[in-house]
Amino acid sequence: MRAMGGDQVEEAVSGAVAALRGAADRDWDVRAGRLEWSCRRTAEHIASDLVSYAGQLAGRPTDRYVPFRIAFDECESPEDLLQVVETTGALLAAAVRTTPREARAFHPFPFRSANREGFAAMGVAEVLLHTHDIAEGLGIAYEPPAALCADVLTRIFPHVRPEPGPDHWRTLLWATGRGELPGRAPLTTWRWSNNLVIPAERLTLQGVTPAAAADLTAGGTGGFEWIEGGPFQGTRDAAGMVVKAYEAGVHRPEWGMFVLVRREDGRAVGGMGFHGAPDDEGRAEVGYDLAESARGNGYATEALRAMSAWALARDDVSYLLATVDRTNSPSQRVISRVGFTRVGSVDDDGEQYAYELRG
């Protein structure tokens, strides 16, 4: 998995500026593509977003968006505008590189926070998409690297099925209402999705993006720092389910997989999550595992209690289901402590027990 960080921000900005400098002699007070803004106003918006994201990571507010806005009042030429975009891009890249991996700051969509990777991805998306808008307005060609587009899609568009093959740019344009894809209806509204984080006492349950899931499935770390012996094979298998759902276009981020991260040292101890979104009866199935060196500390109980409370507080969930092997006494004790009750066997041989938790 390629990390989403300062390098990607710099790559996006440098590519955008290089493309737009070829049109620095044109009138930038024309409409930018499908936007209502002019090309000049759109460049101002890019710079404002970049410095705003840098400010969020620097100050790390948790309850509101700190207002930053760049004004181009003293910029006379398109070259002046591009220098501001370059500078604000450098500020965001620096902020991403110096922000701890576990730190989060406020962003409204959709779960009211983002980490450094999320802000980097949003910054890259703003640069790529609005450079496209400006390029359309100025009548010049622009197409960013496919890898950058894939980085954005697999981190903040986890609900968007990618097109087969390398054409991630066309998928990103379609996902933001800027293009068409065969077999898909045009979009008029859209938004990206940062990963959900559910807090617990000693842990945070951090939603796994398709990019992280693909890396875990391939034998990587998913971008997490694991304790000795982690991740357990069950975590890798669950990550594979996320990848398959994403590729099929049915992945719903909040109903996927979470990695359990200790607050005290930022190290991952296990995985937990859902087997999919709630069915028509409002039933959602849960699963979990821990690295062997993390067992016996109550982490699974704490995490399952927090995740279950989050799920049962929703209107679309009536009850939770868990399936546990008959011989797995530790797991049976975990779900019993959380409040699940045994309701029968899954198979005729009685090798697996079914447990339910209702709100």
pLDDT tens-digit map of 168-191: 999 999 999 999 999 999 998 999
Residue of 159, 155, 243 lying closest to 194 (CA atoms): 155
In this prediction, residue 347 carries a pLDDT of: 80
Query: ∠ at Cα 284 (278, 289), nearest 5°?
Result: 140
- Residue 71: what residue type? A
Q: How much is the average pLDDT of 328-353?
A: 92
Q: Are 272 and 197 in contact (CB under 8 A)?
A: no
- Residue 167: what residue type? D
> How far, in Å, CA of 114 to CA of 23, rounded?
35
In this prediction, residue 113 carries a pLDDT of: 96
pTM for the full predicted model: 0.95
* CB neighbourhood size of 250 (10 A): 13
Q: Are 66 and 49 in contact (CB under 8 A)?
A: no
Which parts of the chain are beta strand (E)? 104-105, 114-115, 197-199, 203-207, 225-226, 257-262, 267-274, 283-290, 319-325, 341-345, 352-358
> How far, in Å, CA of 269 to CA of 291, rounded?
6
In this prediction, residue 68 carries a pLDDT of: 83
In this prediction, residue 50 carries a pLDDT of: 98
> How far, in Å, CA of 160 to CA of 154, rounded?
9
* CB neighbourhood size of 316 (10 A): 11
> Could you tell me the CA-to-CA distances from 215 to 12, 223, 237 in Å, in that order?
23, 8, 12
Query: For residue range 99-156, what is the model confidence (pLDDT) as tens digits?
Result: 999 999 999 989 999 999 999 999 999 999 999 999 999 999 999 999 999 999 999 9
3-state secondary structure 293-346: HHCCCCHHHHHHHHHHHHHHCCCCCCEEEEEEECCCHHHHHHHHHHCCEEEEEC
- Residue 241: what residue type? M
Strands 197-199 vs 352-358: parallel, antiparallel or unpaired: unpaired
Query: For residue range 43-60, what is the model confidence (pLDDT) as tens digits?
Result: 999 999 999 999 999 999
> How far, in Å, CA of 198 to CA of 208, rounded?
12
- Say which residue, 359 or 332, is predicted with more confidence: 332
Mean pLDDT of the chain: 95
> How far, in Å, CA of 50 to CA of 212, rounded?
24
> How far, in Å, CA of 193 to CA of 156, rounded?
5
In this prediction, residue 111 carries a pLDDT of: 92
> How far, in Å, CA of 33 to CA of 42, rounded?
10
Structural element, H or E, at residue 180: none
Split at pLDDT 50, 70, 90, the class of 165 is confident
In this prediction, residue 299 carries a pLDDT of: 98
Residue of 205, 207, 208 lying closest to 240 (CA atoms): 208
